[in-house]
Amino acid sequence: MEKQTNYKVLSFKEYGDERGNLVVAEGSGLDVPFDIKRVFYMYGSDSDIIRGNHANRYTHFVLINVCGSSKVLVDDGNNKEVIILDKPRMGLYLGPMVWKEMYDFSPDSVLLVLASEHYIEGEYIRDYSLFIKEIDSKKD
């Protein structure tokens, strides 16, 4: 029986020929399971730096390491897993209420993030104990 999680690895279409490679990720439920409202990317992070350290109450994300690699610790309150993002055709979908920590960035890492919502500070949970408390309150 497969465990139920609020995250999953995605594989995007990749095309290549003598000119190089092209990866396609379309929103609106085609490849990315939401309409994309915000795009941002991280680069220049040292391998010992941890980014993220938060959960979001409403926003869905897809993370894609378009260059280099990084690791993502995902925690939905029931399951913890480390996902290695090391292929430009690979994405990581994160639904709402998933704690995320990105780390172990390669020197050439560029981590692209697609988001379903514009930035809303109030929907961020930056305290892990509060995150667990909110997860537990939804189990009742």
Q: Catalytic pick from 51, 54, 87, 89?
A: 54
pLDDT score, position 124? 98
The Cα–Cα gap between 36 and 56 comes to 16
pLDDT score, position 1? 43
**Helix or strand or coil: residue 62?**
strand
- Asked, for residue 84, whether it belongs to a domain, the answer is yes
Q: For residue 97, what are the domain limits?
A: 7-139
- Asked, for residue 2, whether it belongs to a domain, the answer is no
**Helix or strand or coil: residue 123?**
helix
Mean pLDDT by 10 residues, the chain (140 residues): 77 95 91 96 94 98 98 96 98 98 98 98 98 89
Q: Is 54 a catalytic residue?
A: yes
- Asked, for residue 43, whether it belongs to a domain, the answer is yes
Nearest Cα to 107, choosing from 48, 60, 53? Answer: 48
- pTM greater than the 0.75 cutoff: yes
**For the domain that residue 52 is a member of, what is the CATH number?**
2.60.120.10
The Cα–Cα gap between 65 and 71 comes to 10
- Asked, for residue 16, whether it belongs to a domain, the answer is yes
Look at the chain and report how many structural domains it folds into: 1
- Asked, for residue 66, whether it belongs to a domain, the answer is yes
Strand bridging mode 110-115 / 80-85: unpaired
Q: What is the chain's Cα-based Rg?
A: 15
Does residue 113 contact residue 32 with C-beta atoms inside 8 Å?
A: no
Does residue 7 contact residue 98 with C-beta atoms inside 8 Å?
A: yes
- Asked, for residue 65, whether it belongs to a domain, the answer is yes
